[in-house]
Amino acid sequence: MIRTDELKGLIAKKGLTQAKVARMINVTPKTFYEKMKIGVFGSDEIQIMIDELNIENPAEIFFAK
């Protein structure tokens, strides 16, 4: 399960919007919000976010228990 609260905080900390991150991973903002709501992203989307947001410890966000 993805810790969406942590991801939202990281996005804000980087000075980005969720809509900008949606464009980074090639989905519409609506799709991004839905994915955030259910806490599920594809592996390719996760990798793009890790790279683009410079996430140092992705396991804490994307592979939380």
Intervals of the chain under pLDDT 70: none
pLDDT at 9: 96
Distances (CA, A) of 61 to 4, 21, 44: 7, 15, 15
The total number of structural domains that make up the chain: 1
pTM (2 decimals)?
Answer: 0.90
Burial 24-38 (b: 16+ CB within 10 A, else e): bbebeeeebeebbee
- The pLDDT of residue 63 is 86
Domain that holds residue 25: 4-62
Task: Give me the CATH number covering residue 11.
Answer: 1.10.260
pLDDT for residue 61: 94
